[in-house]
Structure 1
Amino acid sequence: MIGIEDVSGPRKGLSVFARILMAGAALTLSGCVVPNDGPLTQEVLSAGAGGKAYEIPQTKLVFDVVSIDQRVANSVSAGTRQGFASTFGLGGGGSTPVIGVGDRLEVTIFEAGPDGLFSTSERKSTSIPVVVQPDGHGQIPYVGSVRFAGMTIDSARSTIVDALKAKAVEPDVIVAMADNASRTVSVQGAVNRASIVPLGLNGLHLSEVLAMAGGASKPPYDTYVSLKRGGRSRSVLLQTIIDNPRDDIYVKPDDQIFVSFDPQTFSALGQTEKSGKIPFNAAKLSLVEAAALAGGGNVATADPKGYFVFRYEDESVYRSVVGDDRFRDLISRGMAPDGEGRYPIVYRLDLGATQSYMVAQNFPVRNKDVIYLSRHVATDLAKFLSIISSGSSAAYNITRTARTF
C-alpha cells in the first residue's frame, strides 16, 4: 500500500499540511459546517434596513434594528396600542334609545271624562300591553297599527296622543318600557356565566356587561376580550381595559363579545439558559424580568452585545421610536404590516453597557415577543478548532492503521 510521505524523507510520517488536508476532506465528506444556534450579532444588525439587506429567497422582509436607550424605552412604554376606543369610538350611554322588535311596552291612556273610551266612573285610565311585532308594529285600540320600531318613547307617546285627540276626551298617554328585548348583547367564552345581557335604557360599559355575565373566569392579564360590531372587530387584553378606562366603551345592541383565555408568553431563543415559550404570569413584564425568567445568558457562549427583541409594533409606536421620516423611508423600501396592521422591528440591547440594565427596566415585553441572545463570534472559532482537532486525530489514526499493512 502506498502512503503519503513526509517532506523530510520517505516514510517519516504525515506533514502538518497533509494532516489538515485530510481533516478538511473528512469534514467535507461528512457534510460538516460549523454548527450554530442562530445568527451572530453582526448578522442581525446587517439584516436590518440600515445594514446589508438580508433576503429570504423570493421574499424580502424589510425592518429596522433599533438600539434601546432611555428615549426608546420611554417611547415604547408610553405608546398606546390600538384598543376599543380607537376602533369603535367611546360611544355613550346618553344617546336616546329607540324601540325595537320584541320590546314589550306598557301604554297607559288617561281621559278627562268619566265615560270615555279608556275611562270609567271608577278609574280614569287604562293600561294596554303592547309587544312590538317582527314588522315593527303594535296595536292600540281605536288607534290601530302603530309602527313603534325606530321610535323613541317620547315620539311614540306623541303619535298615540295625536291619533286619539278626535276620539277620546282630552287624552294623555304614558309609554313605559316593560321589557327591552331589542337592546341586548351576547357574552360568550371564558366567563363564569355566558348569557344574553339586557342593556336597558341608560346603556352599559363593557366592564359592566362582563360583570353581569359573571366576570372573566381567568386572570385579566391572561384574558382577551374580542368585540365584533358590524363588519369590524378588535381584541384587547382585559387588563388593558382595567388600566385604561378609555377602552371601557359603551356596548351597543347586537354587539358580540367573546372572552378567551390566552396566557401572555414570550419565546426565548439562542444562548439563554432556558429556551422555549415562557409565560408572563403577570400583568406587565420588563425586559430585565424577561431575561431573568429565561435564566440569563450562557456565560461561555453568549454575546452580551447581542440581546434582541423581535416584534411587530403598532404604527404609532414605530413612528415615535424611529421618527416619521425614517418610517416613510422604510415603507418606500417595502416594509409591510402584518394582518393586524403592525410593522416588523428588532430592538437591540447591549448588555455590555452598564446603563442597559437600568434602561431595560423601563422597556416592556409584549405578548408573543421573540427574545434572542446571540452567540459570541469566538464560539464558532472554538467549535471549528475542536472539529479540526477531532478530524486531525482521526486522520492520524487512520494513517497509523494504514502503515501496518
Structure 2
Amino acid sequence: MSKNNGIGNSRARFARSLARLASGVALLALSGCLVPSDGPLTREVLDAGATGGSSYKIPETKMIFDVVDIDQRVANGVTTLGTPSLARTFGFGGAGGVPVIGVGDKLQVTIFEAGPDGLFSTTESKSTTIPVVVQPDGRGQIPYVGSVRFAGMTLETARDTIVDALKAKAVEPDVLVSMAENESRNVSVQGDVGHAAMVPLGLSADHLSEVLARAGGATKPPYDTYVTLKRGGRTGTVLLQTIVDNPKEDIIVKPADQVYVTYDPQTFSVLGQTEKKGKIPFGAASLSLIEAAALAGGGNLATADPKGYFIFRYENESVYRHVVGDDRFRDLLAKGMTSDGQGRYPIIYRLDLAQTQSYIVAQSFPVRNRDVIYLSRHPATDFSRFVGMVTGTLAPVSTASRTVQTF
C-alpha cells in the first residue's frame, strides 16, 4: 500500500469519527427534547435561578428565586438563623414583677376592728369579710369607704388604701385583701391538649411548660407537636420538643397570652432518582440532609447525577439575606421575587455530592418540615433512553447495573 493511500485512509477514518461525534451530539441534544423526563436536569435547575446582572430580563410570569450551593457557612447560617425561637421573638422574660389587680378579679376584703361595737365588728366577731368584684371601670365598692379603684394596685397597696380611708371612721381598723378568683391574669390554651382552658397565672412567674401542664399537657408526641404563642401583634411557633430540650425556649408567659398546640407530623417529600419517592415522616424532632437522604434510600448510581441534589424551600428573610447577602437579596426583590405571604421567599439549595466535603456539610444542614428534596438524573440517561426509543430496544435498567448509594 502506498504512503498516500495510508494517509488517505487515516483522514477518512478521522472524518468518520468526527461525523459520528457530531451525530452523537445532535442525538443527545435531540434526546433532551423528545425523551419523556421525570424532572429537570441539574443544569436546567441552575439555569432557572435568577442570575445576577442589571441586563438580565425576567419574564413577568417567571418565579424568581436563587440557587445556592451548600457549604459550611450556608449550613451554619441556615441552622442558627432558620431555627424558630420563642426566646428571640419575645425574650425569655423576667420574674414578671409584682402581680396587680385587674378587671374581673374577685377579692376578699376582711376588715378588723379593735372594739366590739364598730362599723365592722360585733360582740361575736371583730371582723367582717366583704366580697368585691372589680368592675370594667377598674373600681369596687367598700362600705363606708365608697368607690375604690383597685385595677393596677397590688394587694398590699389596696390594703393600705382601705386602711387610710377607715382610720377616721372605724376603731383601730386593719385590713386583709386576698385574691379569691384571678380573672385578669389568665392565659388561653387551646388545641391538642388534655383540656383547653383559660389557665390562671400564679403570683410567681409561670413558664410555658407549666401553663401547658395545667391544661392537661400535649396529647401527641412532642417532636410532631407545635406550640404557637401569640402576644400583642407578635407570633412565634416552635416544636414542643424544642421547649423540652432547650430551657431557654421555656419562656415566661404573660397575662392575655394565647397558646395554640397543634399536632402536625413533620414530613419531607422526595422526588427524582432516589430509591424511595413520596412523603417521608421525620420521626424525630430534627433531621439533617444526610439523614433525609438515607431515609429516601440513597440515590440510584445508574441514573442519578451526583451534582444535582436539590432542596426546594421557602426561607425566612433573615436566612435568605445571610446566605446570598443583602445586595443580592435586594437585587432579587427588584427582579420580582415575592414572598409566600408569611415573609418567606423561594430558594433552592444544591449539594454537589461529587465533592468529598459535601458528605460532611450535609450532616449539619437541617431539613425543614415540608421541604422538597430532588435528585436529578444524569444527562447520559436521556441519550440512552432516546437510543432505545429509536432502536426499539428500550428496556428497564438491569438489576445488576442498579446499585444504591446511601449518603
Q: Normalised by the shorter chain, which TM-score bucket?
A: 0.7 to 0.9
Name the counterpart of 1:246: 248
Aligned to 1:40: 41
Letter in 2 for 1:39: P
Please list, as runs of the form range in 1=range in 2, the aligned pairs for 1:298-309 lying within 5 A after superposition.
298-309=300-311
Other-structure match for 1:229: 231
Runs (5+) with no aligned partner, structure 1: 1-19, 392-405
Relative to 1, partners in 2 of residues 1:325 and 1:231: Cα closer, same or farther, differing over 3 Å? closer
How much does 1:264 deviate? 0.5
Q: Distance in 1 between matches of 2:52 and 2:374?
A: 19
Q: Contact conserved, 1:164 with 1:171, CA < 8 A, in 2?
A: yes
Distance in 2 of aligned mates of 1:357 and 1:80: 21
Q: Structure 2 matches for 1:91-240, cutoff 5 A? A: 91-120=93-122, 124-240=126-242
- SS at the partner of 1:283? coil
Percentage identity across aligned positions? 73
The 2-side partners of 1:72 and 1:134 are apart by 54
Deviations 1:234-291 (A, max 9, x none): 3322122233433322222333222111001111011111111110001111111101
Which residue pairs with 2:318 in the alignment?
Answer: 316
Q: 1:89 to 1:358 in 2, by over 3 A?
A: closer
1:84–1:78 CA distance, 2 compared to 1 (3 A): closer
**What is the one-letter code of the residue matched to 2:229?**
L
**CA–CA distance in structure 1, aligned partners of residues 295 and 253 of structure 2:** 38
Structure 1 range deviating more: 183-192 or 315-324: 315-324
TM-fit CA distance, 1:357? 1.4
Partner of 2:72: 70
Q: In the aligned structure 2, how far is the partner of 1:292 from the partner of 1:86?
A: 32
Mapped to 2, the partners of 1:64 and 1:316 lie a distance apart of 15
Farther-moved stretch of structure 1 (67-76 vs 81-90)? 81-90
What do the CA deviations read for 1:64-101 (whole angstroms, capped 9, x no partner)? 21111222222222335343334334344422322223
TM-score normalised over the length of structure 2: 0.81
In structure 2, what is the equivalent of residue 260 of structure 1?
A: 262
Distance between the aligned counterparts of 1:253 and 1:117, measured in 2?
37
SS of corresponding position for 2:230: strand
Which 10-residue stretch deviates more, 65-74 or 34-43?
65-74
Name the SS for the 1:361 alignment partner: coil
1:180 to partner: Cα distance: 0.9
Q: 1:309–1:371: 8 Å Cα contact kept in structure 2?
A: yes
**Between 292-301 and 152-161, the greater mean CA deviation after superposition:** 152-161
Q: Secondary structure at the match of 1:235?
A: strand
Q: Distance in 2 between matches of 1:244 and 1:331?
A: 35
Deviation, structure 1 residue 171: 2.5
Q: Please give the per-residue CA displacement for 1:269-319, whole angstroms capped at 9, x wherever unaligned.
A: 111111111100011111111011111112221111100111122222223
Q: Any runs of at least 4 consecutive aligned residues in structure 1 with deviations exceeding 6 A, and if so which?
A: 51-55
CA contact (8 A) 2:121 2:128 kept: yes
Q: Give the whole-Å Cα distance in 1 for the aligned partners of 2:324 and 2:217.
A: 40
1:299 maps to amino acid: L
RMSD: 2.7
Aligned: 1:357 with 2:359: yes
Q: CA separation in 2, counterparts of 1:157 and 1:253?
A: 23
Aligned residues: 362
SS in 1 for 2:392: helix
Distance apart, 1:368 and its partner CA: 0.9
Look up the match of 2:345: 343
Of the structure 1 ranges 197-206 and 45-54, higher mean CA displacement relative to structure 2 is found in: 45-54
Name the TM-score, length of structure 1 as normaliser. Answer: 0.81
Q: Aligned AA for 2:384? A: A
Give me the whole-angstrom Cα distance separating, in 1, the residues matched to 2:140 and 2:186: 20
Q: Which letter does structure 2 place at the counterpart of 1:269?
A: L
Q: Which amino acid aligns with 1:43?
A: E
Aligned residue for 1:306, secondary structure, equals strand
CA distance in 2, matches of 1:182, 1:73: 45
Q: Which amino acid aligns with 1:251?
A: V
Residues 77 and 135 of structure 1, relative CA distance in 2, 3 Å threshold: closer
DSSP-derived class of the 1:224 partner: strand
Q: Does the CA contact (< 8 Å) of 1:190 and 1:218 recur in 2?
A: yes
Alignment partner, residue 90 of structure 1: 92
Q: 1:170 corresponds to which letter in structure 2?
A: E
Equivalent residues of 1:103, 1:182 under 8 A apart: yes
C-alpha distance in 2, partners of 1:65/1:337?
16
Shift of 1:51: 7.0
- Structural mapping, 1:263-282, within 5 Å: 263-282=265-284
Q: Check whether the contact 1:45–1:51 (CA below 8 A) recurs between aligned residues.
A: no
Q: 1:183 is aligned with what amino acid?
A: R
- Tell me which residue corresponds to 1:374: 376
**Segment of structure 1 superposing worse, 291-300 or 240-249:** 240-249
